Structures are given as C-alpha cells and as structure tokens.
C-alpha cells in the first residue's frame, strides 16, 4: 500500500462543467466510437460505465495529459458514439473496445476504469496482459452476486424490476431512471443543469436508451448470465497473481467499494495498492476529480519511476 506521505496534497480546483476537448471518431465494427485524445506519452485509456460517457473524465484528463496521453472513449451506444441495432451485451462492449484498441494501435496501456468499464477493461487486461501496463480501478465489478438474498433490500427491489419485461422498460424508456434518479442519488454534490443536460443528451429519444437497460440485465445474479459470471471470476483470479500494478481508488461512503470492504480486498488482492480520494458514493469523478487526478499520477509516478 502506498504511504500517504508519498502522495502529494490534493489541490482544490473548481469542478468544471466544460468539456474543452476535440472530438475524434474511429470506424469500429461497422459503427463509430467517439473519443478524445489529449497529450503525449504513455497511453491512459479511460473506460466509463452506465449511464455516463467520456464527459465523466473531463476534470481528470488534464492531470494525465500534462505528461502522458489521455484517451477517453464513449462506449458503443453511449455519449457521441454510434447507436447500432445490437443487443448491447457485455460481449458487444468488449468486442468494440478490443477492436478500438487494435485499430488505433495502442501499446502498453494504463487502464482507468469505472463501473461497467471495469468489466470491459479487466477482461481486456486479462486477455492482453502483455499490452497492459497498469490498472486504476474505481467502483468496479469484482465478483458475481451469488444470490438475490445477498443484495441489500432496496437495491434488490430495483434490480429485480430491471429484469422484469414490463417494469424494466418502464424504468428506462419512460422514467430514464439511471440519468434522472441514479446519477443524482449516487453523486454527493448536486450536479448542475449543464452537467445533467450533457448526460441526458445521448438519450433524449426513448429508442436510444436501450444500452442503459441492457447493462443491469447483464448482471450475473444467481443463475442469470452465467457467461458474464465466468468472465468476472476469471479476471478476479487473474488479479490475485498478475504482476500488472493495480491501484484501487475509493471514497466514503462509496457504493461498490465501501470503506468496510477495503481490508478484505487487500487480503484478496495482495499486490494491489489503494487510496481514499474523499467523500462520494458511486460517481467519484463528479465529486473528487482533482483528488482522483492527483492520485492517479502519484501512483503512476511512484510505480513506474
């Protein structure tokens, strides 16, 4: 574990709603992936989750791009990327990102992962260890849910609705649940209208909201989605033995990576390092972007000096 004395003091820059980056597009698997490409040096590939986009990383990119190359991509069906008529399964997302990396010939990548981006990125790293320099992980998916009974009651009721053919579509297509409910609730500070409008923009039409419903329906719970459970279990085992540096960033109270979970994670993954970036729930990047930016670069400079 990195000593806190080795980490620089977090600066308190203002959290900006601006996205001052040039848009780039790559033709991938018959569609287009939107991404930003800032700076030069080691390639840091930022992968977001549900229901966000590269906009999530806007205040963190400058920390990395100062001396390195920051690539933040919108997953297929998300942000400004294409919206092909596909299931938006995790297999689809993994295929698009792997093809994206190959198309742009990224080498020795540092993966920066959040939410479902962790599934995509950790699966890639396990399959392409020789091309993975390091991993920074926030609020990731590290194990399947063995039983509905192990899920907190409120969360269980919500996710059971997602799997219901009628209720799930109502929550996503009619109520736009992840944008209008989940993001505000799982972010500590109040997101501005500008920020909320950016997150709403890709999903103004009901038909465009399919990816947001596909994500929860891909969760491996009990006997559901055993193929995804197998992938999670495989990269979980890989993390225990790999020499690729893995750094966990967490917040208080957190959501998937809660403070009380960290000691057991340190035992399970003895080679990992970790650091608390401050107070947040699930969307740490919207509450603690400057702390995250500093923590990423402190870890990188210490690990690869």
Q: What is the DSSP pairing of strand 43-47 with strand 109-115?
A: parallel
Q: Which of these is catalytic: 37, 74, 139, 287?
A: 139
Q: CA–CA separation, 125 vs 133, rounded Å?
A: 9
CB proximity list for 299: less than 8 A, separation 6 or greater? 2, 136, 245, 247, 273, 275
Element (H, E) at 264: helix 262-268
User: Can you tell me which residue has the tokens 């699966």?
Assistant: 123
CB proximity list for 111: less than 8 A, separation 6 or greater? 44, 45, 47, 121, 122, 124, 125, 132, 134, 135, 136
Active site residue 286: no
Active site residue 27: no
User: Can you tell me which residue has the tokens 């997101």?
Assistant: 191
Q: Which of these is catalytic: 115, 218, 286, 291?
A: 115
User: Can you tell me which residue has the tokens 């229901």?
Assistant: 51
Q: What is the SS3 assignment for 45? A: strand
Q: Which of these is catalytic: 282, 286, 287, 291?
A: 282
Active site residue 247: no
The set of catalytic residues is 115, 139, 282
């Amino acid at each position: 574990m990195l000593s806190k004395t080795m980490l620089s003091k977090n600066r308190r820059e203002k959290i900006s709603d601006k996205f001052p980056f040039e848009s780039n597009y790559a033709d991938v698997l018959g569609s287009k992936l939107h991404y930003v490409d800032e700076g030069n040096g080691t390639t840091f590939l930022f992968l977001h989750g549900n229901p966000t986009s590269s906009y999530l990383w806007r205040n963190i990119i400058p920390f990395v791009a100062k001396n390195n190359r920051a690539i933040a991509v919108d997953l297929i069906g998300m942000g400004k990327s294409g919206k092909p008529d596909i299931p938006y399964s995790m297999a689809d997302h993994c295929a698009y990102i792997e093809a994206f990396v190959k198309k742009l010939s990224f080498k020795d990548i540092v993966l920066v992962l959040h939410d479902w981006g962790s599934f995509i990125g950790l699966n890639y790293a396990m399959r392409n260890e020789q091309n993975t320099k390091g991993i920074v992980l926030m609020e990731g998916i590290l194990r399947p849910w063995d039983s509905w009974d192990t899920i907190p009651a409120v969360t269980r009721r919500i996710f059971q609705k997602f799997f219901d053919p009628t209720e799930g579509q109502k929550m996503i297509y009619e109520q736009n649940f992840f944008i209008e409910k989940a993001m505000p609730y799982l972010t500590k500070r109040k997101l501005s209208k500008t920020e909320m409008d950016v997150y709403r923009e890709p999903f103004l039409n009901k038909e465009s909201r399919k990816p947001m419903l596909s994500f929860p329906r891909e969760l491996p719970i009990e006997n559901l989605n055993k193929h995804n459970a197998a992938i999670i279990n495989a990269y979980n085992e890989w993390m225990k033995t790999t020499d690729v540096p893995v750094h966990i960033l967490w917040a208080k109270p957190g959501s998937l990576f809660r403070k009380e979970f960290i000691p057991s994670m340190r035992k399970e993954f003895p080679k990992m390092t970790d650091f608390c970036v401050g107070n947040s729930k699930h969307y740490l990047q919207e509450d603690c972007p400057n702390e995250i930016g500093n923590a990423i670069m402190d870890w990188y400079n210490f690990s690869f000096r």
